[in-house]
Structure formats: C-alpha cells, structure tokens
Chain A
Amino acid sequence: MLSITGVHTFYGSIEALRGVDLEVKAGDIVSLIGANGAGKSTLLMTVCGKPRAARGRIVFDGEDITAKPTHEIIASGIAQSPEGRRIFPRMSVLENLQIGATTADSAYFDRDLERVYDLFPILKERSNQRGGTLSGGEQQMLAIGRALMSRPRLLLLDEPSLGLAPKVVQQIFKTIKEINEEQGVTVFLVEQNAYHALKLAHRAYVMVTGRISLSGTGSDLLANPEVRAAYLEGGH
C-alpha cells in the first residue's frame, strides 16, 4: 500500500533520513521504533511532503506521491496524527473534528463524527471546549479522531502514547487495534514505547540515525536480543 524506497530528507544541511526503504502492506499495523532523534517523525512527515524527500520514491496505492502537494496527498487517503498532536488550540473540539473532515465527502460527516465519539466518548462531552484546554490524553484522542475524520485508508500515528498515564496508554493502543481490525484502516505507528508497539504490530522496523537497521514481524523483533537490549531494557 505504501512503499518507500531510498528516501533521503534534509533539514538544511542536516541529513535526517539517509536512504530509507520500508513497506506498509494494506490491512497491517506496521510499527517503527527507534531512539529519540533517529528520524521517525521526519519519515512520517516526508510521506506527507513536509519536508519533501530530496531523493527516493514514495508510492501510495500505486501512485507516486513523492512530489505531490501535501493537501493532495491527504486527499488521496493518508492521514496523520503528528508528533506533539498539534491540536488547533483556539478551535473547539467539534471544529477540530470538522477540520479533520476537510477532504472527506460531507455526506459521511454525521456518521463519522458519531464513530469518533463512540471511540472516544470524552470528546463528545468536551465538544464545545477549546482544543487548547484539553488534557494531554484528550488531545491525543482528538488528534487521532481528527485524522479519522478524513476517512483515511492509511493512518500515520506519531508517538500516540507520549506523555500519557499508563491507563490512558492502554486505552489508546486498544483503540488503535480496534481502528485497524474493525474499520480496516492500515496503521503506520511510530513509537518509543517499543513493547506496546511491537506487540501490536504485524510488521515492524527499527530505525537508527536515518536508516532502517532491522525489520521483521512484531514478535520476531520482540524476541530479538539486540532489540531487547536497546529498546526494551528494564521495561515490562
């Protein structure tokens, strides 16, 4: 569904991605783990054209999207809940969800809104509250909900568990699984919380300084001694 080949991305003269090859199959949850600064967020943003890949190819559903404008990439069926959530702070929860539906057919709006409210009932309670006043966990739910409102076929999630209480983390991962299994949305998940991410994943990749260093099924990597030593040490 998404295939990334030989992608290089720069910030000025800093080379954040140094030839990334990665494949996301339709229907899967694919996890990407790696240390802080490895280039995970840059990869998700490069898929959406912000920043643009300097070299390499990104193909989504058979179509080369490497050079497409961001809003067209989104319209073609990709949505992202980005690093830091980036909720529109001076818009209500409802407006954030409405804006998430920018590229969707408006005929689906009521149904999609209900679906998001079913996944995250707290958002319904808070629907008239400003996005900036939500707690971290609520903002994360809103960021995922906002991404779902565009009816994506591929959902990119950047560290959805960051900074959340363990109970909320559990809930978020449960919901990701639900979105994937019940709604058939393909998920590409970036996480530092390697244990959860690998447990959930059909396929997983490890990124080290802008390159993919390892890949395999989620359980392969979970059992891999290198991965255990580097990313699962002391946890769980």
Chain B
Amino acid sequence: MEYFLQQLINGLTLGAIYGLIAIGYTMVYGIIGMINFAHGEIYMIGAFIALIAFLVLGILGITWLPLALLLVLLAAMVFTAFYGWTLERIAYRPLRGSPRLAALISAIGMSIFLQNYVQLLQGARVKPLQPVIPGGVVLMEGAISVRFNYIQMMIIATTVVLMAIFSLIIAKTAMGRAQRACQQDQTMSALVGINVDRTISMTFVIGATLAAVAGMMVTLYYGVIDFFIGFLAGIKAFTAAVVGGIGSLPGAMLGGLLIGLIEVFWSAYFTIEYKDVAAFSILILVLMFRPTGLLGKPEIEKV
C-alpha cells in the first residue's frame, strides 16, 4: 500500500510534466493539422534556459527562493516563447499551403537543428543543478515510508494552476475564441476579421510557454539535463496527446497523466528496462479500440 501510494505520487508528478508538453502538440495539431516534431526540443530549450537563469541568479546573489523561482519561471517562459514563435515563422509559415510532407520534413529538420544548436552552445555533457528545493513531508512512516517532496508538490500545484488559467483563457477570452475559431474554420475566421497568422503564432507561443514550465520543473526535479532530453519526452508527450485524443485539450492533460502513471507503475512493478515500451504499447492499445483517442471526437458534425 505504501509502495503503491509512493508510486502514485511519482506518477502524478511525471504525468503533470508530460501533460504540460502534450498541450503544445495538441494545440498546434488542432490549428494547422500538423505535428510539430520540434516541440520536444522547445521543451529542452526551456530546461536549459531555466538552468542558465538559476546560474545567473546565483551569480547575482538573488537567493531568496520564492523570488528566484518566480524569476526563473518568467525567464524560461519568455525566452522559450520567443523560440516557439521564431520556429513557426521560419520553419512552418513559409510552407503553409504546401504539401504536408514538406512541413513534416521541415519539422524534423528543425528538431535536429535545435538539438545540435544546443549541443554546440552548451556542450554534449550532462548539466547538473544543485537541488534547489530539497525536503518534503513524510506522509506515512514505516518499512517503506511515503514521501511527498516539496518539489513534487510544486510541480503538481503549478501544473494544476496553469492548466486552470489556460483552460479559462481558451474558454472565455477573445484570444481563446479566436483560437477555437481558427481550429474550426480558418477561412471563416479570416472573414470575421481574425488575424489567422497571428493566432497561429500565438498557438506556438502558448505551447512553448507551457513546455518551458515543464522544462524548468524537470530541471528542478531531476537536477540533470542534456541536449537530448527533448527526444524521449517529446515522443511521450506526443503519445499522451494522441492517447487523449489529438486536438483535445482535456485529452492532452488526461493523456499526460496516464502516460506518467503507466511509466512509473511499470518501472515499479515490472521492470525499469521496458518503461518506454510500456507507454507506447498503451498507445497502440488505445488506438486499436478508440482510434480518435480517449477524449477525441470523431470528425462528424452537423453543419
């Protein structure tokens, strides 16, 4: 029981991170019908910016933790958003209207480029960060005690708050409405005066912002990152988006949670060796029985 609870906490933490990244995949797919294969690298860049920001704050002597965390969060969000925006401008917008294969190749090219870019700038070695938020609470004392670390609490709480804010923006604001309008009918969106290009840019910016938060959390959680972390995390978050139903926002959150839990429980109860395979097997299973994903809707609408 204690063991199970502990894994549940670990799984929720990991799932929160996958969910944050998955939103970027699902939103971009929803609006331009394309998988942004460079999104994992955007997350990786978010992690690096967070790391660099921590080091800079250390040098500046800003050590009061709440302030430092807030500044790092802001820096990661802003700079990563800029990368997301630029990515769309140079890799996708010029190809709008051309065959999907062209955009797909461009996406894969950008993914490889960004990995090499960070490797060149930062080196190929693993980058460590001293634990910034140590400690936690012991929920159950015993042979196996259940610990809920402060960093885990922070990851889960931040994710819940961000998802709530984000869902509100999509549901209630003019920007969110424009977003949904462009998903449903881009020509009509332009005909009501929406700047479709700008809305697509905003989608990349929002996706990158959330991925940046995930990147910062991972840096804090594991304390090590390298230029290649975007690859696996990206594939898993993409899997999460597909399992949840690509294009569906609640689906991305649910899918992220599921993939995180499956991965953690698989490692805990079976073998750590095949944890990645486990996540993808679930993908195949879900798609076999629900081709549109758990919360995806089939494309039938009465118009």
Q: Using CB atoms and an 8 Å cutoff, list the residues of chain A in contact with chain B.
A: 48, 50, 69-71, 74-75, 79-80, 82, 84, 86-91, 95, 98-100, 102-103, 132-133, 146, 150
Contact = CB atoms under 8 A, between A and B. Distances in A.
A91 B303 contact: no
A26 to B, nearest CB: 21
Contacts of B303: 84, 87, 89, 132
B191 A88 contact: no
**Main SS class of interface, B:** helix
Contacts of A48: 190-191
B1 interface: no
Contact of B302 (A86, A103, A133, A146): A133
B192 A150 contact: yes
Contacts of A84: 303
B190 A89 contact: no
How many B residues are at the interface, by size bracket?
Answer: 20 to 34
Contacts of B180: 88, 90-91
Given A89-B301, A99-B177, A71 B190 contact: yes
A103 B193 contact: yes
Interface string B118-141: 000000000000000000000000
Nearest to A82: B191
Interface in B164-189: 174, 177-178, 180-181, 184-185, 187-189
A211 B132 CA distance: 72
B32 interface: no
A90 B187 contact: no
B196 interface: yes
Interface of B: 174, 177-178, 180-181, 184-185, 187-196, 301-303
Contacts of A71: 190, 193-196
B191 A102 contact: no
A82 B188 contact: yes
Contact of B188 (A86, A90, A132, A150): A86
Interface centre among B174, B191, B195, B303 (most CB of A within 10 A): B191
Given A89-B302, A102-B178, A132-B303, A70 B190 contact: yes
Contacts of A103: 192-193
A100 B193 CA distance: 8
B184 A88 contact: yes
B250 to A, nearest CB: 14
Contacts of A95: 177
B192 A50 contact: no
Nearest to B185: A86
A102 B193 contact: yes
A158 B301 CA distance: 22
B193 A150 contact: yes
Contacts of B302: 89, 132-133
What 3 pairs across the A-B complex have the smallest Cβ distances? A103-B193, A74-B193, A70-B190
Contacts of A79: 191-192
Contacts of A150: 192-193
24 contacts: A50-B187, A69-B195, A70-B191, A71-B195, A74-B191, A74-B193, A86-B187, A87-B303, A88-B184, A88-B188, A89-B303, A90-B180, A98-B177, A99-B189, A99-B192, A99-B194, A102-B174, A102-B178, A102-B192, A103-B192, A132-B301, A132-B303, A146-B192, A150-B193
